[in-house]
């Protein structure tokens, strides 16, 4: 995922800046595949458009994540032809992937609640 890099000497800043990006990417991929099976480029474009261009998933990030997810059994894949008659790998969420998505969403919601609480304290 394309993120703006910032340098800082503060270790606290670095800890806050690093949020399990890999888990978040996998959660977005699984959620996107829950709607419908698709090939990698379509996945990246759907995430980009769905985030209003705030998130851009690079090929060098997307395909290793898909490979990890295939190995974990969260997605399956099959070869097909695209609308442009090109050979593409279509990814589909599995039952195990649906369970993982539920776990990821729950953890993400808990993390957001923590952020909301902390930010609410700061405004008091």
Residue 82 CA: distances (Å) to CA of 1, 27, 69, 86, 98: 24, 25, 22, 5, 25
Higher-pLDDT residue of 95 and 123 is 95
Residue 62 domain flag:
yes
Structural domain span for residue 48 = 11-123
Q: Tell me the average pLDDT of the chain.
A: 83
Look at residue 19 and tell me whether its pLDDT is greater than 90. Answer: no
> Using CB atoms within 10 A of its CB, is residue 66 exposed (0-12), middle (13-18) or buried (19+)?
buried
pLDDT at 6: 36
The number of distinct structural domains making up the chain is: 1
Does residue 115 register a pLDDT over 60? yes
97 domain residue, yes or no: yes
Q: pLDDT tens-digit profile of 43-96? A: 999 999 998 988 888 889 999 999 999 999 999 999 999 888 999 999 999 999
pLDDT at 38 over 70: yes
pTM score, whole prediction: 0.77
Instruction: Please report, for the domain that includes residue 45, its CATH number.
Output: 1.10.10.10
Q: Is residue 2 part of a domain?
A: no
């Amino acid at each position: 995922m394309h993120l703006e890099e910032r340098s800082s000497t503060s270790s606290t800043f670095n800890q806050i800046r690093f949020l399990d990006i890999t888990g978040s990417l996998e959660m977005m991929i699984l959620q996107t595949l829950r709607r419908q099976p698709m090939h990698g480029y379509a996945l990246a474009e759907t995430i980009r458009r769905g985030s209003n261009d705030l998130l851009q998933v690079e090929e060098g990030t997307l395909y290793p994540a898909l490979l990890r997810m295939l190995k974990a059994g969260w997605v399956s894949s099959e070869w097909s032809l695209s609308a442009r008659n090109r050979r593409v790998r279509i990814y589909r969420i599995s039952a195990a992937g649906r369970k993982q998505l539920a776990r990821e969403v729950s953890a993400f919601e808990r993390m957001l609640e923590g952020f909301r609480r902390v930010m609410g304290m700061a405004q008091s």
